[in-house]
Amino acid sequence: MRIARDGTWFHEGTPIGRPALVRLFNSILKREGDRYFLVTPVEKVGITVEDAPMIAVDFEVESQGPDQVLTFHTKTEDAAICGPENPLRVLRDPTTGEPSPYIHIRRGLEARIDRKSFYRLIDLCSHEETAQGRWFGLRSSGQFFPVIPSADLP
């Protein structure tokens, strides 16, 4: 089994088209170190994950400013409130500088945030001083999540 970068699940090279089956597999997905497994009481089967095992396709915003709370929703119907338990992180490609945003969902499993949602997130960002200098980022559940150093913005 394999989960492609776009979140599509494959079995023996064929996409799994039934959403209920994908949700079932997602519910038994576990991460151990850098490896992923489907775990039942009877067996444990390794799978390949090209990027992140889930895709966050939307989010909701409650309140504004420092009291803002972001709740992310995945393609497989998981939900996670961004905060200390479910942090947001952004990796940047060292060559292009292109961002890849992720949100922790559960038990060490992350979802890559889709492009449309990331653009909406950027509209909620502000500049803040951190121990690492001035950063452009966003707040959720009382915590600041840095996206990019302010100096790197045009």
Tens digits of residue pLDDT in 78-128: 999 999 999 999 999 999 989 999 999 999 999 999 999 999 999 999 999
More confident residue, 64 or 27: 27
How far apart, in Å, are the Cα atoms of 2 and each of 28, 38, 41, 73, 91? 14, 11, 21, 22, 23
Cβ neighbours of residue 110 under 8 Å, at least 6 residues apart? 52, 53, 54, 102, 103, 104
Quick one: how far is CA 29 from the chain centroid?
15
Does residue 54 have a pLDDT over 90? yes
**pLDDT over threshold 90, residue 66:** no
- Kind of pairing between the strands at 44-49 and 2-3: parallel
Rounded CA separation 127/8 (Å): 35
* 149 has pLDDT over 90: yes
Q: Residue 103: is it exposed, middle or buried by C-beta count within 10 angstroms (0-12/13-18/19+)?
A: buried
Answer whether 144's CB lies under 8 Å from 125's CB.
no
Separation CA 68–CA 87 (nearest Å):
14
pTM of the model: 0.91
- As a whole number of angstroms, the distance between CA 75 and CA 19 comes to 9
Count, residues in the chain: 154
Mean pLDDT calculated for residue range 135-154: 94
